Chains A and B, each alone.
Chain A
Amino acid sequence: MAKQPLTENQKIIHSDILRYKKNKLPATFALLGLVFNCLYFMLMYGVFNNYFYKIDIGLSVLITLVSLLAMFLSSEGIKGYNKKYSIVLIVLAAIQIIRIFFFPLQGLRHDALWNTNVFNSAIRYFGIDLSQGVAFTLLVVYLVASAAFLVASAVLGYINCMRLESIKKKIESGEVDIMEVVKQMDAEDAAKEKVQAEAQPEHEEVQ
């Protein structure tokens, strides 16, 4: 059955709920972005062990630590309907996308990668032996997933923040009276129940 569109009163109630609930879904998305970032660096350092040691590792560790902290703080910020954190989340998502073009893609392009004579040692990751190619592909997937969740968190968080701001303004200006809306909806429901109750015996007679 097709989902019925929300009535104006229902929209108001759905927005009013935000006043008493934390912005949990966007916060969860931000944390998922963080989780994929964790999975990324866990695999990445496994690849590094088999691949090369450079000063880049230090930079990579630093970026990882800062991004993890920023993602966590943004998750908490967006949970409290602070729309500024949506911008932070977008920036973090952009960083994740940019990271794809450095290490994982470079690794994938490396001709020697697919030459098992040179890189014949598999990468052990969560008890599974991965080839270099699969490992680099996974790294790209993790970064894309992390970025996607961060963007989703930022967009959804921003929408909810705006909805909350809007309903607060309407309530403060007196444009909307929540109790009046609740009473109207209760009355509508009571009328519907009455109609259903009246229709019930006729229905039984037909049967």
Chain B
Amino acid sequence: MPEVKLQHIEKIYDGGVQAVWDFNLDIADGEFIVLVGPSGCGKSTTLRMVAGLEDITKGTLIIDGKDCTRLPPKDRDIAMVFQNYALYGHMTIYENMAFSLTLRKEKKEIIHRKVMAAAEILDLKTQLNKKPKQLSGGQRQRVAMGRAIVRNPKVFLFDEPLSNLDAKLRGSMRREILLLHKKLNATMMYVTHDQTEALTLADRIVCMSMGHVQQIGKPIELYDKPANTFVATFIGLPPMNMFDGKISGGKFVSDLFEYALNGEQKKALSGYEGQEVILGVRPENITLEGDIQLHVTNNENLGMNTLVHGKVGGVKNVVCKFASWCTYKPGDEIKIGFDEKLMHFFEKPVDDQPGKAII
């Protein structure tokens, strides 16, 4: 039985603005779900609805078999970790971590055991007598997580917990969260706009845009088989290169170049003859073997690989990622091609809806 079920969840604010549309998700016990999407896509609103901090306008929320749609937050047995830590500045770390249990009037002995166990997991044992202001951002975030752990909730909710940290600390904290999930084997929902966090942490990713779920799947599924043009361009860094064109006579024909389709592609695109489609290629799937002319505008060596920015046909910006040290100069002309096994074709977007994946 899934631990958390979100069934046809919708959120309409008082002004009539709809933030979330028909959200459906079954989260299994111990699963790590990451909600990812750009700002304003409704991911935090969804999380807050699960937490009970926002009313659910329509739909049903079931946690561990119990309908929690109208239940107050305190009765849902969930714990939330916020971006700004939300620690009490006048309390020590020990008191901060013990606070929720103290409110529940738990025995001092039980509180102490839980706080010590959480401090051990989070490596905070030496910090327990300090005040939050004496700790670094990463340590404070660990305290916020400790406060959640001591409650032993059914579900952990994380609302962009690493957004306030610098890049290096974010990386180490990401690994710590992953280890924590393995240690606790708890059900976790995590909101972020950072796709690296989503790809590295999630068992499954929920990609959202404009309040709609765009795709739910394992990180590799979202990367390898994006459901539509939004997911294709949102997941992956640098984003996927998209070329507008149409299918004509077994070829993909755009204003910039023509590309002869292979047998598999022809078969999949047989119903699209004469129709406009979008060709998507990830920067790392562009090769230096082909006949498409690229006018280099920038060459960024990143050590392990090189990002080559350029224009095709003088207008279309294209980013290539080559696994070698390149020394192109702006103005150089190079020939590129695509790895035909890793090309994506999408339908043309209609009415602001992203184009669906064909192959």
Chain A positions within 8 Å of B, measured between CB atoms, are 10, 13-14, 16-17, 19-21, 178-179, 182, 185-186
B117 cross-chain contacts in A, Cβ below 8 A: 179, 182, 186
Residue of A nearest to B113 (CB): A182
B94 cross-chain contacts in A, Cβ below 8 A: 20-21
What are 16 A-B contacts with C-beta separation under 8 Å? A10-B109, A13-B113, A14-B109, A17-B112, A19-B129, A20-B94, A20-B112, A20-B115, A21-B94, A178-B116, A182-B113, A182-B116, A182-B117, A182-B120, A186-B113, A186-B117
Q: Taking the nearest CB of chain B, how far is it from the CB of A19, in angstroms?
A: 8
Within B106-154, which residues are at the interface with A (CB < 8 Å)? 108-109, 112-113, 115-117, 120, 128-129
A186→B115 CA distance, assembly (Å): 13
Chain B positions within 8 Å of A, measured between CB atoms, are 92, 94-95, 108-109, 112-113, 115-117, 120, 128-129
A14 cross-chain contacts in B, Cβ below 8 A: 108-109
Residue of A nearest to B98 (CB): A20
Residue of A nearest to B116 (CB): A182
A167→B157 CA distance, assembly (Å): 37
Residue pairs across A and B with CB atoms within 8 Å: the count is 31
Inter-chain contact B113/A20, CB cutoff 8 Å: no
Inter-chain contact A17/B108, CB cutoff 8 Å: yes
A10→B108 CA distance, assembly (Å): 11
B109 cross-chain contacts in A, Cβ below 8 A: 10, 13-14, 17
A182→B117 CA distance, assembly (Å): 7
A13 cross-chain contacts in B, Cβ below 8 A: 109, 112-113
Q: Taking the nearest CB of chain B, how far is it from the CB of A112, in angstroms?
A: 55
A149→B334 CA distance, assembly (Å): 89
Closest 4 CB pairs of A and B: A20-B94, A182-B113, A17-B112, A13-B109
A182→B116 CA distance, assembly (Å): 8
Inter-chain contact B120/A179, CB cutoff 8 Å: yes
A20→B128 CA distance, assembly (Å): 7
Most buried by A among B92, B109, B117: B109
Q: Taking the nearest CB of chain B, how far is it from the CB of A82, in angstroms?
A: 16
A16→B108 CA distance, assembly (Å): 11
A20→B129 CA distance, assembly (Å): 6
Inter-chain contact B113/A185, CB cutoff 8 Å: yes
Assuming A20-B92, A20-B112, what are 12 further A-B pairs, CB within 8 angstroms? A13-B112, A16-B116, A17-B108, A17-B112, A19-B129, A20-B94, A20-B95, A20-B115, A20-B129, A179-B117, A182-B113, A186-B117
Residue of B nearest to A183 (CB): B117
Q: Taking the nearest CB of chain B, how far is it from the CB of A115, in angstroms?
A: 56
Q: Taking the nearest CB of chain B, how far is it from the CB of A20, in angstroms?
A: 4
Q: Taking the nearest CB of chain B, how far is it from the CB of A23, in angstroms?
A: 14
A13→B115 CA distance, assembly (Å): 12
Q: Taking the nearest CB of chain B, how far is it from the CB of A38, in angstroms?
A: 27
B129 cross-chain contacts in A, Cβ below 8 A: 19-20
B112 cross-chain contacts in A, Cβ below 8 A: 13, 16-17, 20
Q: Taking the nearest CB of chain B, how far is it from the CB of A187, in angstroms?
A: 12
A67→B115 CA distance, assembly (Å): 40
A21→B94 CA distance, assembly (Å): 9
A186 cross-chain contacts in B, Cβ below 8 A: 113, 117
